[in-house]
Structure 1
Amino acid sequence: TIAVSEVYYQMRSYSEALTVLDSASLSSKIQNPQFENQCRKIDVQLNGVDKNQDLYSNSLNTIRSGNSVSSQEQQSVQQTKDEIVAVLQENKMYDEEIHLRKQSIEFNTKLNNLAEVSKDRVAISKNLDAKGETSAAIKEAEEAVRIVTTIDNPLTEASAFLSVAGLYEKNGQTNKALSAYKKYSDAITRKEAQSESRLIEKSELIRKQKDIEEYTKDVSIGQQTVFRQQLVIYGLLGIILIIGVTSFFIYKNAQASKLANRLLALKSLRGQMNPHFIFNALNSVNQFISQQDERTANQFLSEFAMLMRLVLENSQEDFIPLQKEQEILSLYLKLEHYRFRDKFDYEIKVDENVNPEAIQIPPMLIQPYIENAVWHGLRYKNEKGKLLLHFYRQNRHLVAEITDDGIGRQRSAELKTENQKKHNSTGLKNIEERLAIINKVYQLDYRVHIEDRKNNGTQVSVYLPFIKQS
């Protein structure tokens, strides 16, 4: 019933969506808590924002009158706020959203829910900026940063620093923007460290679970032995049955553990965006500033912020549309071209029979090969080189072909320092491990072919199985 109602809701047929819910039985409504949320969401659309803002305020007053607030009550208030905010944002009702979020700040401050307070202040800052009140927007964003630095929440901290950095940049405060982007980068690094720590904890938990299973198995065998001594024939049959069932579940648990480990490893590898590029990018901004090239520094910062936003948005996804990956790679190449504009030009080519919106690929899979082409092939070339990124179909694969006319792998290896060799090896090894895990988990056939060109340069072909967006 809720699913049918949601279909009408997405079609903006709100009355029909409510009629479907009303037709459900009383027992269904009581047993399914999602009914209340769906009704409230439809009510926002049917009765407008003002009535529901009053309901939201009344909910806050009712909760304040009690001695404590349950997690279910907090969740209900948050859902109501989110539904009203969605309508306010759709209609660009900036003042109304600011008023609503100030109520939320008061509520969450009393609950010491500082992460939500910081998020609301960031949202208020965005509304003020949209109204053209940049100074007030910066003040709100700075307050969000001050609050979030008192708690251990790197993801919320990263969002606050990214917001204030964008406002500093817009207001021409380049040094402050650079400092904020560095703190944003630090927060992302700490978030990745936390993810790695959780991965270790989960691995330890899986190991302990296996120990418990082994101990349980030993106890079970002992009990089966006593039972077999008492009832020989029935005991033997019981042992066979128990061993069969136990073996089946042990096998299923082992398979589930393997899958969980592979998915955790894949998530960890996917989050390892090369910090080498981030630090070099920030150093480039310093260089532009020292050269008093403020316009280029601001332009570089703007493109860099956009790239960081895209990477952050897609870092939790196993697969994203080719169109998004193409946008990320285009921004990355644009930034590298800022730094080495006298070393190479580039072109991104997509064949007409390739639909970037319909095809799914793993995020940040192609970028390391482009980085290798720029840093180890084209950068050392005396004359200006060319890099071509070409997407085309070949049988059941989408091929991403990176071609450069740089100095070639052999000459590049001769010029590399030991540190560069180690960095390059680690980056490509991470990609190989990631492809191996994806192939095992999803039963796919990702592979990479690297070829030295006759007249110097390198050609890397990444074969990506066709995965259409569902």
Structure 2
Amino acid sequence: MRLLTIYIIFLLMLLLPIGTMAQDSLYKSKSMPASKMSRVSNDLKKSLEVNDEAQIAKNYERLANEFFNKSDNTKAEEYFKKAITSYTKLKLTDDVTRVTRSLAKVQESQKDYKSAIKSYEVAGDISEDKSLEKINANDANRLRSVASPVVQEGYVNSNIELLKKENKEEEVSAAYVQKAENSLKQKNKEVAIESYNQALAYAKGKPAAIIKINNEIAKVYASDNQFDKAIGINEKLLADAKTKQDFSTQIKQLQSLSVLYFKKEDPNKAITALKEAFALALQKGNSAEAKKCLISLTQYYNGKGNNKESLALYNQFLQNFEQLVQSDTTLIDTKAFQVSEDKIRQLEKEKSLKDELITKTNTFNYFLLGSIGLLLLLFLWIVKTLFSIKTKNKEIALQSLRREMNPHFIFNSLNSVNQFIAENKEREANKYLTSYSNLMRNTMENSNKDFITLDNELEQLKKYLELEHLRFQDKFDFKISVDAELDPERTMVPNMIIQPHLENAIWHGLRYLDAKGLLLLNVQLANAKVVIRIEDNGIGLTKSQELKTSNQKAHESRGMSNTKERIGLLNELYKKNIRFQIFEKTLPETGTIVEIVFPLIDKIA
């Protein structure tokens, strides 16, 4: 009864105070070096604080691998999923493929075959490597055939060959372990041991994997009652662990040896191994393994009715209990990670809020930029439309001005025809009408053009001057000269700009002369510019103004303004810098000179 009471007290102390005392020891052991788990969790916190998605993804994966190595598959699965989310956000396909495959392995180790199959399939689908795609497909099919080890064997062998080609030694080793487990399902222990040994050959540089595989080989020998071989393997692992001062492995190998010795019916060696493991666990602060050893030892002694020895072990455990808990790094790491995980959860929430805010801000910014873009396009469209309308209006205005055929000329031409008819000069009237109709036809044909060839323009001007000369044969002669360097068939000139000035020279200068005058039209090339010079020796601008009626003054004024408007519109539309000037000759000469200057043009865009 006393023994039972002590046992209950011990269990209460073992189950309840450890959490509290471990929390206290967390603060008492600040000087202890941080574990790998602590370093990774701290790195994760830092990356979450600065919201570095690439580092967050990397640290999630690192943390998941730490949990996987410690066989905490639930936590490993949680952090692998978080890593996948971050890598997916970064669009890192290779990383997503790798971590999804790791997730599948964790799910498989938990016998969650349905989820594992799906993860293997996803890893295969997104992989850009055809071999890796096939490897994941094989693993998915292997799990579908979990009830048929023979079918599974084919997929495992296929993966071994593919992984060898890819030089993935660690995965080749894992595949051979799968092959060994498959052989055990088929009760083929020889092939299983052979596969385990092949797995060892590819596990070089991975001490944890080598220890695990050797332990599995030892279990196979033990299941076949080959205890000496199994013991030999565990003793070698124990010796290696002592050399490397790997106390955790020493404790586990001593426990395995005790189990083998009990099965071999050698309880003395079994108890010796257990006591050594118990003492080492107490010394090195491994409370979980100390508890396991203590339970095994007390069960054995109680079964033998040796309560005294059990009590001695309990007393030894209780005397070292506080120190054991304080120095148990596994408890400290667990509690430290709980604290870290709370901080990680808080940082994840803050990151989620930041990401949501960034997303909303980006959405608003995109909307704003899109709206600005649309407004800009609308503005540009309006500007373009207005410019197009303005240009069209200018073109219409230019056509309208160009088509303002000199009413004075038309009226006088008809009067001249009437005069020829009245004087019975039928032949002259017919000739005049024929020339007049040709001129009108050419003028109408070119009425929609802003520029025509010099050759075409001179032809029209010559016809016009010939008509006027028919009426005023005794008043003037005319002469047209063109620079030999100009090609009249290629050189372009403004349409109907020259004619009004020829008409003014005839009607307001030459026809008032008593003697016959001279009208000169000269087209020259000077400094890559075309210079058109209209010169007469008529009465000049001053005297002409004195003789004009008010109607004639209005007509001439309109003709000049028409020319200026047309030149202004042509300059706006074509940017040709056409210049126009008119001046009177100085005494003793009389007459007027008109100059029109523009760049040499051989093509109009």
Q: Given the two structures, how large is their TM-score scaled by the length of structure 2?
A: 0.38
